[in-house]
Amino acid sequence: MRELRRDPVIGRWVIISYERGKRPSVEYEKEPENDSSKTCPFCPGNEHLTSSEIIAYRQAGTQKDKPGWWVRVISNKYPVLGIEGSIKRYGEGMYDRMDGIGAHEVIIETAEHKKELPDLDDKRAEDIIWAYRDRMVDLKKDMRFEYILIFKNRGKAAGATLVHPHSQLIALPMVPVRVRQEQSGAKSYFDYKERCVFCDIIVQELSSPERVVSENDDFVAFCPFASRFPFEMWVMPKKHDSQFDDIQKPEVSSLTQILKMVLSKLNRLLGNPPYNYLLHTSPLRVSKVPYYHWHIEIMPKLTKVAGFEWGTGFYVNPTSPEEAAKFLREVE
């Protein structure tokens, strides 16, 4: 049973995804499966343990759902939303629901059980970014979807349940509230200044680079001024573009380089901490806009989010972004 429900006060949508009559259980102690490559469903040779592949980048002459791939995209075995159905909304008194429609995919980033993005050859690493783009371009054609989120959970504290490096993609039939807030904040700034707020952020960060961690021709990585988390980093293209899927070949290469660099710094400085990263891009049905600027937000999970943060959306960060950036720059 999967259903989307909307909170009537805040407008926040929630996915209710449950089995009827199942006894309640306390799930918070569940460990990620610290599986060996023998039993790992994401390792080559175990393709039969996953659903059939949607796309894979693989050696010529190798077969679908068999070894020979280096990036493989599959449907999530436990999807939070299902791909079949209509997007009709219906009311129940004052409440709104809709069927739990959406896509939930897993991007297996490498055939090697423990090789993270920073350990991969450039070409192999670039193909992870190409897989993000290819899936986005394809799913965008399905007019039921309004937003696509690409994200990665690394480590148990960040919500990962398998150790084999992977990212996830979720396509949604509405624009989530958090995305609408970011879009609307950026639009207010543009309406007032007639400039993109993210372009302005880049100018300010580069002109006084105490929060900059790394930079190349096309991208800058920095700890944001109002960082919510210690060692939070944003990776932003220098050229204005509201949509990630416009990315071009040289930019994929620059993005891969800077991501490898900053993730490897994070791993060395903090000893492979748990983290999430998230691709922020425009809603699918918004064409190129001057006020929004796609980027990636990397959030190490070093602190616990408790009642105060939940209640206010107000974070307490025990590390200043200036010091975080300094520590990160100093890591070789």
Q: Which of residues 297-316 bind a second copy (CB under 8 A)?
A: 297, 299, 301-308, 310-316
Q: Residue 304: CB partners within 8 Å, gap ≥ 6? A: none
Is the distance from CB of 279 to CB of 151 less than 8 angstroms?
yes
**Number of residues counted as binding a second copy (CB under 8 A):** 95
Distance of CA 287 to the CA centre of its chain: 21
State the DSSP code for 162: B
Residue 320 near a second copy by CB under 8 A: yes
List 166, 280, 293, 295, catalytic entry: 166
- Closest to a second copy by CB, 237 or 321: 321
Region of 10-18, 45-53, 82-90, 111-119 interacting with a second copy (CB under 8 A): 10-18
Residue 145 near a second copy by CB under 8 A: no
- The one-letter code for the residue type at 225 is F
- Known active-site residue 164: no
| Beta-bridge partner residues of 57 | 71
- Closest to a second copy by CB, 69 or 213: 213
* Angle at 11 (CA atoms; ends 5, 12), nearest 5 degrees: 60
- Closest to a second copy by CB, 143 or 306: 306
| Beta-bridge partner residues of 75 | 105
- The one-letter code for the residue type at 19 is E
Among residues 109, 276, 283, 289, the one that binds a second copy under rule CB under 8 A: 276
Residue 21 near a second copy by CB under 8 A: yes
At 259, give phi and psi (nearest 5°): -65, -45
Region of 63-71, 105-113, 170-178, 282-290 interacting with a second copy (CB under 8 A): 170-178
Region of 56-64, 115-123, 168-176, 254-262 interacting with a second copy (CB under 8 A): 168-176
Determine the Cα–Cα distance for residues 34 and 164; give it in Å rounded to an integer.
9
- Closest to a second copy by CB, 60 or 94: 94
Region of 48-56, 130-138, 225-233, 253-261 interacting with a second copy (CB under 8 A): 225-233
Classified as helix, coil or strand, 169 is: strand
Residue 268 near a second copy by CB under 8 A: no
- Closest to a second copy by CB, 158 or 258: 158
DSSP string, 53-99: EEEEEE-TTPPTTSS-EEEEEEE-SS-SSBSSS---EEEETTEEEEE
Provide the minimum distance between the beta carbon of 257 and a second copy in the complex, in angstroms, as a whole number. 23
What angle do helix axes 122-139 and 249-270 make, rounded to 10 degrees?
Answer: 120
Tell which positions 65-124 bind a second copy, by CB under 8 A: 80, 92-95
**Which of 300, 291, 283, 298 lies closest to 149 in space, CA to CA?**
283
- Closest to a second copy by CB, 273 or 290: 273
Among residues 55, 83, 269, 286, the one that binds a second copy under rule CB under 8 A: 269
**Which of 240, 292, 300 lies closest to 269 in space, CA to CA?**
300
Is the distance from CB of 129 to CB of 73 less than 8 angstroms?
no
Provide the minimum distance between the beta carbon of 43 and a second copy in the complex, in angstroms, as a whole number. 22
Tell which positions 46-65 bind a second copy, by CB under 8 A: none
Task: Return the active site residues.
Answer: 166
